[in-house]
Structure 1
């Protein structure tokens, strides 16, 4: 009987990253899917082995955390016009990060 050693295959499966980008893109309707995506992302941080997937998970984490920080600063301001400008800028920046990351993931390119 032949015995072959079992090797753990490290396959870059982008389906989780696609799901997380989809959850991030649901932020205009509800912010809860974005937070769920962040918690899933934080849980997958250590188990991800591929360089491409690691770069996308890091990109998503930084995008969500940056959006929450800048949006929180914008919402805490007392001047309405300044609050609106900062929140609009944060939203446009976040949309840009989602689009750029998702397109790079579809092309198989690391960020």
Structure 2
């Protein structure tokens, strides 16, 4: 049952929440051009998390939040080590990792499956 989950023998339509999850992936992707959208995506994740709690979409929210925080961490580490030149490698790897996480998450979402 596409976009639905069972809870106490009820069927719940998750199409609205799925669209929101798509928007969050789009905001994360757009952050490569307009950085502030990355923060907007994280804020939406935290604010709307209760709406997806207990559904397969919760895995996507967790995935998106972890992507945000780990990329921030590695961005700081990379920025602080730029003078050692290893920072360039860290920042490049971080960028590739974020693109990978957005792509894998968005693909799983388009196939109506949880991400892990």
TM-score by length of 1: 0.86
1:35 to 18, 39, 64: 39
Deviation at 1:78, TM superposition (A): 4.5
* Map of 1:12 onto structure 2: 14
- Mark the structure with the bigger radius of gyration: 1
* Map of 1:97 onto structure 2: 101
Give SS of 1:46's match. helix
Instruction: Report the number of matched residues.
Output: 104
Q: Which has the higher contact order (CA 8 A, sep 6+)?
A: 1
Q: Matches of 2:52 and 2:31 in 1, distance apart?
A: 25
Unpaired stretches in structure 2, ≥5 consecutive residues: 1-9
Give SS of 1:51's match. coil
TM-score by length of 2: 0.83
Q: Matches of 2:108 and 2:11 in 1, distance apart?
A: 24
Q: Matches of 1:67 and 1:86 in 2, distance apart?
A: 10
Relative to its length, the structure with more strand (as a share) is 2
Larger mean Cα displacement after TM superposition, 44-53 or 30-39: 44-53
Give SS of 1:72's match. helix
RMSD: 1.6
* Map of 1:26 onto structure 2: 30
**Partners of 1:34 and 1:64 within 8 A in 2:** yes
